[in-house]
């Protein structure tokens, strides 16, 4: 038994060393003062949107716990003590449903919330005190507190701590619900909360002073994804036309640079909007792990675009996948100099956002696949390292502790991705792109992860949202 344990430990150490080498000795992803430090306090893991975690996963584990919530669950936030807060969308009311679980998957509390925008609740996050931060239907920046009363738990909103964002959000278009917050993130300064609206208003609310500053990027651009914050009070936002780098300087929000990208001729099948489907991702080998920023474009053959975060200089433009399989709705996984992109071209969603428009073509087979691209050591250009054919139904997450990408693979009678498909929990080697393990996950329409991101629990479990709730994979 001891010999087996030593062999297993040696294998893990070897894999960890290989990962560090492959990531070019990347600095640990930083956690800003206003964000929980569990490694999973946001849907993308951190404010850089690296989609990585320093926690280990279940590797080849196959013990499954099915948690039905009658709701789609795109955001699973891990708290400082291992509890998990799930922000879901209720089937009947279409409103956000926040549920608190202990680390073993036992439901502790639940509350219904309100939101003017689906994404305004989807991109909630957990702050350093385990408050759940989101924007409600009245454009208030709200903080949901976890309260314990003896052996019971409750989720409580405190109106005294809420910060009204209404003027910033809707003054430009006449008030009411003419605009809404798409996403929010803590900034690098302790009390700053950045937010962005569908119509490209960018703002910062200070939790301590309650002051709100904002600017409108454009009168014709929109935002359909989340955004990322980095060191130096900076943020990167992708609209349906441009990638922006902004910073808070002298009490104002200023544009440091912007880069126009090819948005294509229409929305592609497997995407939810016309433009990039990716949240910008910071990565690099500097202390802040934010030397570069990357998105994908929406060209006929999609390209990975990498820029220097300091001046916007393009590092590389790399074509991805084939012309019949070239589009994504997922943010890239990135750390050090390495980036992994997941193809969602042709992926069927049960519902599309208002104004999404028809895709061209209207339908396409879901071929899937992942590819890894590395920035060259001199920072001049990129090279494709591997491509695989994994049909990922979820946004993959990387464990930097065990060197594996975790995701859910969709398999079925055909490539058309139908209601009879089967889902498998798989791991993929970060260095080679090869599949390392595969176990049955679930079956049928309600098991669809909808290209959402999972998160790592404290006990090496992996939590993945689905159309009907959560599936927890235990080691």
Per-residue pLDDT of 307-344, as tens digits, reads 999 999 999 999 999 878 899 999 999 999 999 999 99
State the residue range of the domain holding 365.
Answer: 2-474
Q: How many CB atoms lie within 10 A of CB 6?
A: 10
Q: What is the enclosing helix (H) or strand (E) of 380?
A: none
Are β-strands 397-399 and 462-465 bridged in parallel, bridged antiparallel, or unpaired? unpaired
Position 93 scores a pLDDT of 86
Position 265 scores a pLDDT of 94
What SS3 class is residue 390? coil
Position 3 scores a pLDDT of 42
DSSP sequence for 286-304: STTS-SEEEEE--SSS-EE
Are β-strands 52-53 and 397-399 bridged in parallel, bridged antiparallel, or unpaired? parallel
- Where residue 43 sits, what CATH number does that domain have? 2.140.10.10
CB–CB of 417/348 below 8 Å? yes
Share of the chain above pLDDT 90, in %: 82
Position 100 scores a pLDDT of 98
Position 351 scores a pLDDT of 83
pLDDT tens-digit series, residues 115-146: 877 665 678 999 999 999 999 999 999 999 99
CB–CB of 127/143 below 8 Å? yes
Q: What is the pLDDT along the chain (475 residues), one digit of tens a residue?
A: 444 444 443 444 344 434 444 444 466 788 999 999 999 999 999 999 999 999 999 998 778 999 999 999 999 999 999 999 999 999 888 899 999 999 999 999 999 999 877 665 678 999 999 999 999 999 999 999 999 999 999 999 988 899 999 999 999 999 998 999 999 999 999 999 999 999 999 999 999 999 999 999 999 999 999 999 999 999 999 999 999 999 999 999 999 999 999 999 999 999 999 999 999 999 999 999 999 999 999 999 999 999 999 999 999 999 999 878 899 999 999 999 999 999 999 999 988 888 888 999 999 999 999 999 999 999 999 999 999 999 999 999 999 999 999 999 999 887 788 888 999 999 999 999 999 999 988 888 889 999 999 999 999 999 999 999 999 999 9
Strands of the 234-238 sheet, one edge to the other:
228-230, 234-238, 242-249, 252-260
Are β-strands 422-429 and 404-411 bridged in parallel, bridged antiparallel, or unpaired? antiparallel
Are β-strands 303-308 and 212-216 bridged in parallel, bridged antiparallel, or unpaired? unpaired
Share of the chain above pLDDT 70, in %: 93
- The span from the first CA to the last CA of the chain, in angstroms, equals 19
| Residue-wise burial string across 384-399, b where 16 or more C-beta atoms lie within 10 A, e elsewhere | ebbbbebbbbbbbbbb
Q: Residue 395 has what DSSP assignment?
A: B
Number of structural domains the chain divides into: 1
């Amino acid at each position: 038994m001891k010999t087996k344990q030593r062999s297993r430990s040696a294998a893990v150490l070897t894999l960890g060393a290989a990962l560090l080498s492959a990531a070019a000795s990347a600095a640990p992803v930083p956690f800003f003062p206003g964000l929980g430090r569990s490694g999973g306090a946001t849907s993308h893991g951190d404010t850089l949107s690296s989609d990585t975690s320093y926690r280990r996963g279940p590797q080849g584990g196959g013990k499954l716990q099915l948690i039905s919530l009658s709701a789609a669950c795109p955001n699973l936030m891990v708290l400082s003590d291992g509890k998990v807060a799930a922000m879901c969308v209720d089937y009947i009311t279409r409103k956000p449903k926040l549920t608190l679980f202990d680390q073993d998957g036992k439901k502790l509390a639940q509350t219904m919330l309100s939101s003017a925008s689906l994404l305004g609740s989807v991109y909630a996050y957990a702050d350093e005190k385990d408050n759940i931060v989101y924007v409600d239907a009245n454009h208030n920046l709200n903080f949901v507190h976890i309260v314990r009363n003896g052996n019971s738990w409750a989720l409580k909103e405190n109106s005294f701590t809420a910060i009204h964002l209404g003027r910033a959000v809707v003054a430009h278009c006449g008030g009411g619900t003419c605009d809404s917050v798409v996403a929010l993130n803590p900034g690098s300064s302790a009390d700053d909360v950045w937010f962005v609206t569908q119509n490209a208003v960018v703002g910062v609310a200070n939790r301590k002073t309650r002051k709100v500053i904002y600017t409108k990027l454009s009168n014709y651009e929109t935002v359909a994804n989340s955004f990322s914050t980095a060191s130096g009070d900076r943020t990167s936002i992708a609209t349906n036309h441009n990638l922006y780098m902004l910073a808070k300087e002298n009490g104002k929000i200023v544009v440091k640079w912007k880069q126009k990208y090819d948005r294509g001729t229409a929305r592609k099948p497997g995407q939810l909007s016309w433009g990039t489907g990716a949240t910008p991702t910071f990565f690099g080998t500097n202390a802040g792990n934010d030397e570069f920023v990357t998105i994908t474009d929406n060209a006929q053959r999609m390209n990975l675009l990498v820029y220097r975060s300091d001046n916007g200089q393009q590092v590389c433009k790399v074509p991805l996948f084939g012309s019949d399989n070239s589009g994504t709705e997922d943010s890239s996984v990135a750390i050090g100099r390495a980036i992994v992109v997941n193809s969602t071209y042709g992926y069927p969603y049960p519902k599309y956002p208002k104004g999404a428009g028809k895709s061209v073509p209207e339908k396409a087979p879901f071929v899937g696949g992942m590819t890894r691209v590395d920035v060259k050591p001199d920072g001049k250009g990129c090279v494709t390292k591997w491509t695989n054919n994994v049909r990922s139904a979820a946004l993959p997450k990387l464990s930097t502790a065990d060197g594996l990408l975790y995701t859910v693979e969709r398999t079925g009678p055909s490539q058309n991705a139908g209601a009879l498909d089967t889902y498998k929990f798989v791991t993929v080697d970060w260095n080679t792109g090869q599949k390392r393990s595969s176990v049955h996950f679930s079956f049928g329409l309600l098991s669809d992860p909808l290209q959402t991101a999972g998160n790592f629990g404290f006990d090496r479990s992996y939590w993945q949202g689905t159309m009907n709730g959560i599936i927890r994979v235990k080691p």
